Structure 1
Amino acid sequence: MSPAHAAPESRTSRSGAFFRENLPIVLVAVVMVVAVVFLAWDRWRRGTFFFGGATLLAAALRMLLPTDRAGLLAVRGKTFDVVWLTVLGVAIIALAATISSLGVT
């Protein structure tokens, strides 16, 4: 079959390719959506833990994946990204764990 008669790429294969290429940031975004849902339900501590967990997940994915597969998680150098995402994730979780809830869950 000549290139002029080749079938156009389908929409599903393009969206599938998008999710494969951006899987690390999609995973982090899903965890952040869960955090927002908890915050919307007035479960601020759980939501904050999920935000911290999403940040630590981003750090782990950035550390384990090569730069060309990290997608939008690759902002600066690998070491810089991993260190700062880890520091931020730990700080968010520590904040959620240490602030008194004052009767709020």
Structure 2
Amino acid sequence: MTTPRPDRHRLLAHLPFAVVMLLVGVAALRIGMYHWRQGAALIGGALLVAAVLRAALSDEQAGLLRIRGRAVDVLSYAGLGLLILFIALTITGGPLG
């Protein structure tokens, strides 16, 4: 058996952050296409994904999603994600689709 290279391990540690940033990039694209409510909802969803990943992964696997303690990170990501989703879905003045 071969042992994994340290470079590959460090790269995999940043994969959860890359997934969240990919979702934020898609959200930015939707906002740029004048679908700001969909973009805001995607950003809220990305934060909820970050909360789930931070809760499910170990400190080493969470990579750049790890800022403070696990509980603080999960509560911060989930709280902000739910707040953004709530605001995006309740503001009147246009259809979500």
Of 70, 75, 83 in structure 2, the residue corresponding to residue 91 of structure 1 is: 83
Q: Which has the higher contact order (CA 8 A, sep 6+)?
A: 2
> Within 5 Å, which residues of 2 pair with 1:13-28?
19-28=11-20
Q: 2:41 aligns with which of 20, 45, 49?
A: 49
Q: Residue type of the partner of 1:55?
A: L
The question of whether the paired residues in 2 share the 8 Å contact of 1:19 and 1:26 is answered with no
2:31: which partner in 1? 39
* Cα distance per residue 1:48-67 (max 9 Å; x no partner): 01000000000000000001
> What's the TM-score once normalised by structure 1's chain length?
0.80
Between the aligned partners of 1:16 and 1:51, the Cα distance in structure 2 is: 28
Give unpaired runs (5+ residues) of structure 2: none
Aligned structure 1 segments of 4 or more residues deviating by more than 6 angstroms: none
The percentage of aligned residue pairs carrying the same residue is: 33
Residue 20 (structure 1) shift: 1.7
CA distance in 1, matches of 2:94, 2:22: 29
Mapping for residues 52-91 of structure 1, pairs under 5 Å: 52-91=44-83
Output the TM-score relative to the length of structure 2: 0.86
Worse-superposed segment, 18-27 or 65-74 = 18-27
